[in-house]
Structure 1
Amino acid sequence: MMTTSLYSSFFNIDMHSGVDRKSGKKGTRTFTNVGFHFLQNKRRRAVQPKGALQVTASSAKKILVMGGTRFIGVFLSRLLVKDGHQVTLFTRGKAPITTQLPGESDQEYSEFSSKVLHLKGDRKDFDFVKTSLSAEGFDVVYDINGREAVEVEPILDALPKLEQYIYCSSAGVYLKTDFPPHFETDAVDPKSRHKGKLETESLLASRGVNYTSIRPVYIYGPLNYNPVEEWFFHRLKAGRPIPVPNSGIQITQLGHVKDLAKAFVKVLGNPKASKQVYNISGSKYVTFDGLAKACAKAGGFPEPEIVHYNPEEFDFGKKKAFPFRDQHFFASIEKATRELDWKPEFDLVSGLTDSYELDFGRGTYRKEPDFTTDDMILDKSESPVISTFSVSV
């Protein structure tokens, strides 16, 4: 990922550090990329481009983003700052608080980074979370990286007057069904690997918090740290066949990160979103084979050779041979489009093109390719291996 030389010219100002009375642990509230005038006037209006909608001071919110330096929060925080909100990112400070995005001008990046504050700490240090958040006070919390309900309780305790808690959940909480797509009212699976997110939603509801929960399906786009489109791009660039489990007609769904970020903004202060859950993803579904072809089209590669295989005939150990769950998995976004004045701007090919041109196509990616499982499959590909597969989701 690209960082800019502008970052080295920024400075950190340690506003206050505290020692927890019980644990003796120290925590530092560090405000990053700001001038002294900004520290003295946190709720000033943002500079708007000519002709843009002006945001009044009364509509500006003091917003805490839990996370915000990896993927979703990178795009969300830019939208919030552009709308005139005061944005503080809560992170451990192990990664740069802001980085210049591919395609982002120096001026755009400078304006954004000069307005972002940073609260340095570990969200699992519950005592520090309580003391630091209660001292600062926030109107709204965007929780992008919360995984367990226990991580959310101290935030709620620290902010009893919180106006809204906006949570990034997952469509993975749904119970498998023979009647897709998933709707927000569908049964959930308390044993899913996302049960922590499900328990967090229950906590928010039980505490009477004005919350909104967003359930994305598969997310893709520039800076994606999950091997979704990158997995296909690596194989396409290497001119290798694409191994796809079973028949390849399994149906799934992807949503672009920029569309997701806009949905997060649409629920802010929206009375229709109060104590509601929304599925957010792309408007169309796609088969595994179709996704391989869409990635090829987005990157300007020839249509790929697709090799189908039966996963039960292989022992891949701990390695993951394919980046998607081998089943139908998709959700309806009808409720969000109806209630939030939101709809995806990217179709799948244009979204994958955006991802490729701003990330992989520039030579940046999160992981080096590993074709170990591919070679196991291809070595056996001379034998027919197609089998029937479950259509549950």
Structure 2
Amino acid sequence: AEVVWGSPTDPSTYPQGDFDIVYDNNGKDMDACKPLIDHYSGKVKHYVFVASAGAYVANSVEPMHVEGDARKSSAGHVAVENYLVEKGAPYTVFQPLYIYGPHTAKDCEQWFMERILRDRPVPIPTPGIQLTSLSHVEDVAGMLAKVPGNTAAIGQHFNVCSDRCVSLDGIAKNIAAAAGKEAKIVHYDPSRIKLAKGEGFPFRAVHFFASTDKAKKVLGWKPEHTFLGDIDERLAEFKASGRLDKDFDFSADDRIIAEASV
């Protein structure tokens, strides 16, 4: 594969030549995505945009998100999705949830391991039985790879996630069990604590999971991983990363724990 470094907002840096498919796994709003969409408009057979399941409107009655459910009009991803429709692009939109595994951009399982392996308390939003979906990066890539040549995917949205859910407490308890540790869970009410963006628990404090039935039916996709089945491998990689040898700022945790004990 030839790697070409450039800026998604500067067409002069785009790779030369003709392409059948464009995957945009970078942009989150119109400023970042519009130049790429405009440049390849009418030139490709398929335009794949990786959006986010986070753009769904939370639903406390039917929490499992299904393609076609209401999406936040204020979300940057949604504006891009609407623009693809407006342009008449041969698009497919993927909506991933929390992604774990090697070379992922954000902490997922690592957040729990950082605390459990240091024998720290694990602050989790109450009540801890909220369900979420953790998806292995290989399963995510596997679904995206089902698009080329599949005309049935054009004009469609697909949720990208595991077909199994796990509770927030369950994540901590299973990681701790695999590590031979105790999960020192501290439940707290996030509405009582003021935290800056990026501080505190890395997941939503409510149910957050989705159906992948559509991807199974239309794309012929099926997951090869389960989070519980991957914990030993993820623990081994985390320990080998050297993170435990470095200092870590737990000040936000300490504020949460102090508030929870009041």
TM > 0.5 fold call:
yes
Asked if residue 189 in structure 1 is aligned to residue 72 in structure 2, the reply is yes
**Residue 203 of structure 2 is aligned to residue 324 of structure 1:** yes
SS at match of 1:186: coil
Equivalent-residue separation in structure 2 for 1:158 and 1:314 (angstroms): 45
Evaluate the alpha carbon distance shift between residue 297 and residue 268 of structure 1 in structure 2; reply closer, same or farther with a 3 A threshold: farther
Q: Distance in 2 between matches of 1:216 and 1:236?
A: 27
Identify if the C-alpha distance between structure 1 residues 347 and 185 changes in structure 2 by more than 3 Å, giving closer, same or farther: same
**1:303: Cα distance to partner?**
3.6
Structure 1 SS opposite 2:4: strand
Number of the residue aligned with 2:45:
163
Is the contact between residue 8 and residue 36 of structure 2 (CA under 8 Å) also seen in structure 1? no
Structure 2's unaligned 5+ residue stretches are: none
For 1:361, the equivalent position in structure 2 comes to: 239
Which stretches in structure 1 are left out of the alignment for 5+ residues? 1-115, 384-393
Displacement of 1:297 in angstroms is 3.8
2:2 matched to 1:117?
yes
AA partner of residue 217 (structure 1): L
Alignment match, 2:35: 154
State how many pairs are aligned.
259
Q: Please give the per-residue CA displacement for 1:293-320, whole angstroms capped at 9, x wherever unaligned.
A: 132245x232412111222333334561
Aligned equivalents of 1:318 and 1:169: distance in 2?
Answer: 21
Paired AA for residue 238 in structure 2? F
Equivalent residue for 1:271? Answer: 151
Aligned partners of 1:211, 1:364: CA distance in 2, in Å? 41
SS at match of 2:206: coil
Question: Paired residue for 2:139, among 242, 256, 259?
Answer: 259
Q: Which has the larger radius of gyration?
A: 1
Sort the Cα spacing of 1:123 and 1:234 in 2 relative to 1 into closer, same or farther, 3 A: same
- Report the equivalent of 1:307: 186
Structure number with the bigger relative contact order (C-alpha 8 A, sep ≥ 6) is 2
* Alpha-carbon distance, 1:257 to partner: 0.6
2:91 matched to 1:211? Answer: yes
Once the two structures are superposed, the pairs formed by residues 371-390 of structure 1 within 5 Å of their partners are 371-383=250-262
| CA RMSD, Structure 1 to Structure 2 (Å) | 2.2
In the superposition, the TM-score normalised over structure 1's length comes to 0.61
Could you tell me the TM-score, scaled by structure 2's length?
0.90
Could you tell me how far apart the structure 2 residues matched to 1:271 and 1:319 are?
A: 39
In the other structure, the counterpart of 2:25 is 144
Q: Deviations over 1:214-261 (max 9, x none)?
A: 101111111222121111010011011211112111221111111000
Q: Tell me if 1:173 matches 2:58.
A: no
* Secondary structure of residue in 1 paired with 2:129: coil
